Amino acid sequence: MPGPSVGQLIEAARAVRLRARAQYSGFRVGAALETASGEVVTGCNIENASYGLTLCAERVALVKALSEGQDRFTRIVVAADADTPTSPCGPCRQLLWEYCGDIEVVLVNLERETARYRLSELFPVPFDGRQLK
């Protein structure tokens, strides 16, 4: 059974972006994570007054997927209202690498795709379990 098209993932990321709790920054982000089985798990950023406890859309989607028993992923779409590509932050890159590996990362704004990468291009020298052996 084929998985969702990139267009369907983009649509899902843009839609969930509207649920973001971005009362401090006003910067709403949505993410749609595709599982290897073709499911789509979405997440949006959830801000906190301390900022340090803010959860990014990518991490929300990943944690939801992991908590639902998913453990293999193929790509993630990140949607934000910005002219330039809005790529995952450092903590998101770390967690995506550890749990998803070298997945495709598609960055979009409200009108078009702004960039497409492999996670290894965004996170070329990762720290992972190999260093802990």
Out of 11, 39, 47, 58, pick the active-site residue: 58
Give the chain's count of helices (H) and strands (E).
4, 5
Catalytic site residue 58?
yes
Dihedral sign, Cα of residue 91, residue 97, residue 100, residue 103: positive
Dihedral sign, Cα of residue 19, residue 49, residue 65, residue 35: positive
Q: Report the alpha-carbon distance of residue 17 to residue 117 in Å, rounded.
A: 21
**What positions carry a catalytic annotation?**
58
